[in-house]
A and B are shown apart, each in its own frame.
Chain A
Amino acid sequence: MAKLTIDDQEFEFPDGTSLFDACREARGEALPHFCYHPDLPVAGVCRLCQVEVEGMPKLTIACNTGVRDGMVVRTRSEKVTQAVQQILEMHLINHPVDCPICDQAGECGLQDQYMDFGLYESKVEMAAKVNKRKVKVIGPQVILDQERCVLCSRCVRFCQEVTGTGELGIFNRGDRAELDVAPGVELDNNYSLNTVDICPVGALTSRDFRFAKRVWMLKSARGVCPGCATGCNVRIDHEGGRVFRLKPLRNPQVNGSWMCDRGRMTYKAVHDERRLLQPVRDGKDLTWAEASGALAGMLQGRSPALVVIGPHASLEEMYLARDLADPAAVVSGPHDLDRGSGDDILLDGDRSPNRKGLASLGITELGAADLAARVGAAGGPVLVLGGDPGRDKTVAGALAQCANLIAIATHDGPTVQAAALALPGAAWAEKAGTFVNRQGRWQGFAQAVARPGAVRDVWRILAEIQALAHDGSGPQSLRAVRQDLVTSVLSEGELDMDRMPEQGYVPGGGEQ
C-alpha cells in the first residue's frame, strides 16, 4: 500500500496503481486526458494529464506514473492548469474547428477541455493551418478526418492490442503526422466501431450514425446487446421514438469497454419494416379488442397444449410463459437455430441473448425434428414466443399444419405466416427485461423507446393469456412478475430485479 497526498488530502492506494487512477479516485473526476484508456496500454502521448509531484523537477504525466509512498501530488495548481492550457493550445493548432459539421460535437474531448481549461483566443489563423485529408472512408463502418485528429493513438493501440489486426498507424512527423490506414488496407474488422468510441475527437466517425442526429439531442437508456450470448452492456441512444446508435457500457466482467460492430447494428431490427405492428388473423389486421376475442375463442378456457419459448425472450417472459401450461408441454428449440461462428474477443457462436435463461428455468431445448413432432402431436393451441422457430424448414412444415397456432412475435416471418393469430410483442428496446448471458449472469435492460403501433409488452400479452386460460387474473405489473421469478428461481429477496447490480448478477456467487 502506498500513502500519498493528492490536493492536500491523504489517500492510500495499492502498489502498482497508476497515478491517473489514484487522482481520478481522489478528485472524483478524471484528469484531463486524450490518450489514456483503462482498457488500453499506456502511451503517454497527449501530455494533458500532467500533475505536479513534489520533488520532481518538472510536471509529470499521471497516466505513466505509479503511486509511490509519500508522494505529494497537486492536480489543480496554477502551474498544472497553465500547462494543460498550453498543451491544449498545441493540440488545437491545426484543428479545423469545424464543430458545426462534426458528429463528435457535444461529446468531444477537445470541446470539453477547451471549456474547462482553454478559453483563450486562437493565435493561429485559419489559413495558416496544415490541411490534411477530410472525409476519408477507411472501412465499411468508419470515416477518417485527419485534420481533426490529435494523434492520441488510442485507435492504433486498439487495433494492435485488442483485435490484433493493426490496420491503423500514425505516419509522417511533426505537424504532418497523420493517422491513416496502411496503403491497400481497410479498417475492416468486426470491432472497428470501437475506434470511433475511443476517439476523443471527431477524427474517426461512424458511417452508420453519420449526420443522423446531434448527440446532445439523444436520450440514453441502459441496455444489453441482444446480438449474441455474450450480453455486452450497451447504452441505447434514442430520440423521438427512434434508436440511433448503441454504445458499449464498460463492464469489465462481460465486455470490457468494447462491443462488436455486428451487435451495434442490432438496433436496426427495432425499426425494421417487417415489424409486426397490429394483431393479425388470417392476413387481416385486428384491433386488440378483436384479438382478445379471437384469443379467448382459441383457448376456450384451457391452457395452450404446447408452449414453444425461443431464446430471444426475456427471462420474465420465459418465466410467465413457462407457467402457462403443464411443465411437460413447455419446450424450446430448435436448439441449433441461432448459431454462427464466434471469435475469442466478444462475439459468441450462440447468436441468441438468453439461451442460459431457458436453462435456468429448466425448459428443455429440442432439436428440429423433435420440436416438429411435438407441434404435430399437440392437438390444441400452440403458443410460440421469443423467436421464430419456423425459420427451420422442418419446424415450419409442422407449424403450417397446426390449426391453432398463436404467435407472439416482433417481426413478420415464417411462424407469423403460419400462425392463426399473430400478436405484436415489444421488441428489445421497447421493453424492460432481463437476459442471462453465457456466463449465467443476469443482466437487466430498460425500456428506451415507446412501442410503435398496437405493439404491446409481451408480459402483458402473456398475462392476458394466463387470465383467459386459468379463468382468473394474470400478474398486474412487471415488478410482480419479477418478484415471483426471483422467489421461484432464486431464494426470496435474494435479488431486486428492478435494481440490478451494474455488473449483473450471477446466481450462486462465482465471479461477480
Chain B
Amino acid sequence: MSFEGLPIGTAAKKRSFREKLYFPEILRGLGVTIRHLLHNILHTADMPTMQYPEEKRVYSDRFRGRHRLMKREDGSPRCVACQMCSTACPADCIDIVAAEHPDPSIEKYPATFDIDLLRCVYCGLCEEACPCDAIRMDTGIYEIAADKRSSFLVDKEFLLNNTTDGTL
C-alpha cells in the first residue's frame, strides 16, 4: 500500500464556529458528566463496582489460579520429575531436582519441586505440558500475598498439601 497522499498525523476535523468558541462545547461536556453523576447518586444500587473483600467475582472453572501438585492414591506425588513443565515455563519459575525412587515401577520422583510464585505468569503451560496430570492450576486461588519475597517460593510439601488460602 502506498502512503502517498495520506495526511501525516491525524487530520484535524474542520470545526464549526460554535465549536471554535469552546464554551458551548465545554458546557455540553459538563452536561454529560453531571448527568452521569446525578444518575449514579440516585441509583447507587446499579453501580457496577464490586465491594471486593465482601463480594467476589465468580470465575469460570477454567480459571488458572495457584498451582497444586496431585497425589497418587498412596499420597506420594504423582509427579515423576520429567521437567516438561519447567521446560515449557516461559517465566522459568519451576525448579525440580529429580531423585531415584526405591520402587522401580515409579523409578523417578521429584526430590524438590519449587515454584517461584512471583515469577509465575499463570499462563498454564506447565499443566498443558505435564504428561502425568501432576500439576494443576485449578485451586481457584488468586489472592496470593505474603510479607516477604522468600514466602513466595513454595516447595513440594506446600504444593502437595495446598492447605492455606492466598496468604503464604
List residues of chain B with CB within 8 A of the CB of A210. 100
Given contacts A211-B98, A216-B87, A217-B87, contact A100 B131 (CB under 8 A): yes
List residues of chain B with CB within 8 A of the CB of A214. 82-83, 87
Chain A 104-159 interface residues, beta-carbon cutoff 8 Å to B = 105, 134-135
List residues of chain A with CB within 8 A of the CB of B98. 211-212
> Is the Cβ of B81 less than 8 Å from the Cβ of A211?
yes
> Is the Cβ of A134 less than 8 Å from the Cβ of B105?
yes
**C-alpha spacing A120/B47, complex, angstroms:** 56
Closest B residue to A106 by beta carbon equals B87
CB of A171 to closest CB in B, whole Å: 20
Q: Give chain A's interface secondary structure class.
A: loop
**C-alpha spacing A142/B133, complex, angstroms:** 30
- A289 contacts partner chain B, Cβ-Cβ < 8 Å: no
- A56 contacts partner chain B, Cβ-Cβ < 8 Å: no
- A162 contacts partner chain B, Cβ-Cβ < 8 Å: no
Chain A 187-231 interface residues, beta-carbon cutoff 8 Å to B = 210-212, 214, 216-217
A-B contact pairs, 28 of them (CB 8 A): A98-B107, A99-B82, A99-B131, A100-B80, A100-B82, A100-B84, A100-B108, A100-B131, A100-B132, A101-B80, A101-B81, A101-B82, A101-B107, A101-B108, A105-B82, A134-B104, A134-B105, A134-B107, A135-B107, A211-B81, A211-B98, A211-B100, A212-B98, A214-B83, A214-B87, A216-B87, A217-B83, A217-B87
Q: Give chain B's interface secondary structure class.
A: loop
Q: Which of B84, B99, B104 contacts A211 (CB 8 A)?
A: B99
Extra pairs beyond A101-B82, A105-B82 (5, CB < 8 Å) = A99-B82, A100-B82, A210-B100, A211-B98, A211-B100
Chain B 71-102 interface residues, beta-carbon cutoff 8 Å to A = 80-84, 87, 98-100
Binary interface encoding of chain B residues 101-127 relative to chain A, with 1 for a CB under 8 A from any of its CBs, else 0: 000110110000000000000000000
**C-alpha spacing A10/B52, complex, angstroms:** 76
**C-alpha spacing A212/B99, complex, angstroms:** 8
List residues of chain B with CB within 8 A of the CB of A101. 80-82, 107-108
CB of B50 to closest CB in A, whole Å: 42
**C-alpha spacing A175/B107, complex, angstroms:** 23
Chain B 41-90 interface residues, beta-carbon cutoff 8 Å to A = 80-84, 87
Given contacts A99-B131, A100-B132, A214-B87, contact A135 B82 (CB under 8 A): no
Closest B residue to A105 by beta carbon equals B82
**C-alpha spacing A211/B82, complex, angstroms:** 9
CB of A202 to closest CB in B, whole Å: 11
Binary interface encoding of chain A residues 418-454 relative to chain B, with 1 for a CB under 8 A from any of its CBs, else 0: 0000000000000000000000000000000000000
List residues of chain B with CB within 8 A of the CB of A98. 107
List residues of chain A with CB within 8 A of the CB of B83. 214, 217
**C-alpha spacing A190/B82, complex, angstroms:** 30
**C-alpha spacing A98/B87, complex, angstroms:** 17
Closest B residue to A133 by beta carbon equals B104
**C-alpha spacing A105/B80, complex, angstroms:** 13
Closest B residue to A214 by beta carbon equals B83
CB of B109 to closest CB in A, whole Å: 9
**C-alpha spacing A135/B131, complex, angstroms:** 21
**C-alpha spacing A100/B80, complex, angstroms:** 7
